[in-house]
Amino acid sequence: MKRKHPAKDHNRMTKHSFLVLNGPNLSRLGKREPEIYGCLGLDDINRGLADAFPDITFEFYQSEYEGALLEKLFECEDKGSVDGIILNAGAFTHYSVALRDAISAIRIPVIEVHLSNIYAREEFRRHSVISEVCAGVISGFGSLSYHLGVQALMAKAAEKSSEGKC
Ligand code: DQA
């Protein structure tokens, strides 16, 4: 259970700020194995999110490097700049203990998303080392996985703001 970030009070907050964080090879979407990952590029997916959720302020970030992803997570934590993170960690999902530790070290809720259904693919993709420290996992819905991730974060924030009011 993550502690609440002091900079974020969901009772008072009206506008959400979410980080959409993508890891290695996701810059190649649209060109990369379209039969698995679809025809949309990462820019198309990001634009689709901004269009679908005009009331949310998005920050979009992608890197091929593990350390850069960690630094982005810590930057968001230290600045209190976002109140939720949608993360497609790409292949780091399956083996990056460093990424898992970084997610554990921050208080911002993280939703793990995948375009493909990792549980219906090769054996090595069926295990995620980050799922345990994420607020939830969405896998297998193509670009819709990101949209569902945003909805999950919104639902989590609403749940928080009504905590103890049942
Ligand atoms: C992925 C699944 C991973 O196994 C793979 O390494 C990726 C993309 C997905 O979105 O389906 O790069 O995270």
Residue 32 DSSP label: S
Mean pLDDT computed over 97-108: 98
Of all protein residues, the one whose alpha carbon is nearest to atom 8 of ligand 1 is 90
The Cα 11–Cα 163 span in angstroms is: 10
Q: Are 73 and 103 in contact (CB under 8 A)?
A: yes
Residue 40: pLDDT band (50, 70, 90) is very high
**Average pLDDT value over all residues in the chain:** 92
Domain with residues 2-161, CATH architecture: 3-Layer(aba) Sandwich (3.40)
Task: Give the pLDDT of residue 161.
Answer: 79
Q: Please write the tens of the pLDDT for every residue from 113-150.
A: 999 999 999 999 999 999 999 999 999 999 999 999 99
Q: Which of these is catalytic: 16, 114, 146, 147?
A: 114
114 is catalytic: yes
**CA 116 to ligand 1: nearest atom:** 11
65 is catalytic: no
The model's pTM: 0.91
Cβ–ligand 1 distance for 42 under 6 Å, the answer no
Q: Which of these is catalytic: 37, 61, 127, 146?
A: 37
Residue 160: pLDDT band (50, 70, 90) is confident
Q: Please write the tens of the pLDDT for every residue from 45-57.
A: 999 999 999 999 9
Q: Which residue has the higher pLDDT, 1 or 157?
A: 157
Parse the chain into domains and list their residue ranges.
2-161
Residue 162: pLDDT band (50, 70, 90) is confident
Q: Which residue has the higher pLDDT, 166 or 29?
A: 29
H/E stretch holding 18 reads strand 17-22
Task: Give the pLDDT of residue 11.
Answer: 41
Residues making up the chain, counted from first to last: 166
The Cα 28–Cα 21 span in angstroms is: 15
